[in-house]
Amino acid sequence: MRVIEGRSSWRSRALSALLRLTSREPLLQDTDISALRRRYEDFEARHFPAEKWVAREWTNCNGVIAEWISVPESRPGRVVLYLHGGSFAFRFPNTYAMFAARLCRRFAARALIPDYRLAPEHPFPAAPDDCHAVYRWLLATGHDSRDLILVGDSAGGNLALVTLGRARQAGEPLPACAVLLSPAVDCTLTSPSMVDNEERDPVLHLRSLLVLRHHYVPSPHLHMHPEVSPIFADFTGYPPLFLQAGSSEMMRDEAIRTAQRANAAGVHVELELWPETPHVFQVASFLPESVQALDHIERFVLAHTGWKTTSSAQ
């Protein structure tokens, strides 16, 4: 575990202040999630369009729609399977396309983003079923697992670990490595940082997480199921894992506990804690912390894939 020293940048502090003003209103049990999702997507489409240098193409993967992301530097054989976050209920297509494109430039790879089914219309196990189906499709269409990496943020980090567990159980070849950004891995919501950091976290709110948990997993009996809460899974045989989280966010201890579980199972794992950064700060390309974090992700991925690249993309 590495704790990144120093204070966060003024840009990160300003973003946290803005998010605190705009994102901290808790969800209610009767909130219309599907309507809220449409409002989020309409807002993103108007104000955060994807850049023209990013090529986007929809494809059908074993019945699951997914989007290929490529950039001029992309090499067809290299694939980043990107599992997006959004509390299993929301999607931000342009935001995640642009973040995946930044990864593609650094790795000279393509990215595939599954449009997995969302709660509450499609509760567990719809999302992990879809993500595993896309992973199997990649293998079936000739992609070498050694040139495949998994990246997931927040709920996507959960789905990345579940996909690894399902693939291992099925005897399928595993990807070269996986990157987990502030993974949400414990549906019991019992990590100490859920309480300790609730007032400091500019994005998440415990009341909202309880509402979203109910939509994804209506039955409390499933909260400790390893495909709902992969912190309780057996990590034996997993590929190398790289985790990043903010030291003041509510998901901090879920990243720490995941790293501890992986290490105890003999998995090569690295964890970084960043000071005073908001949840999944890596997607905000204007933050200096985001650029530095991607530098560290690039170092890890290239070391475990053997990929060579001369890209200096931010």
Cα separation, 34 vs 258, in Å, equals: 31
Structure tokens at 198: 């609730």
Evaluate whether 104 touches 140 at the Cβ level (below 8 Å).
no
Q: Output the six-digit token pair for 253.
A: 């201890």
286: Cβ–Cβ under 8 A, 6 or more apart, which residues?
Answer: 11
Round to whole Å and give the CA distance between 31 and 302: 43
Provide the 8-state DSSP code for 133: H
Known catalytic residues are: 154, 249, 279
CA distances from 14 to 48, 74, 78, 151 (A): 19, 34, 36, 27
In 10 A of CB 200, how many CB atoms?
A: 16
**Which amino acid makes up residue 29?**
Q
Q: Are 119 and 89 in contact (CB under 8 A)?
A: yes
CA-based nearest residue to 125, from 156, 159, 82: 159
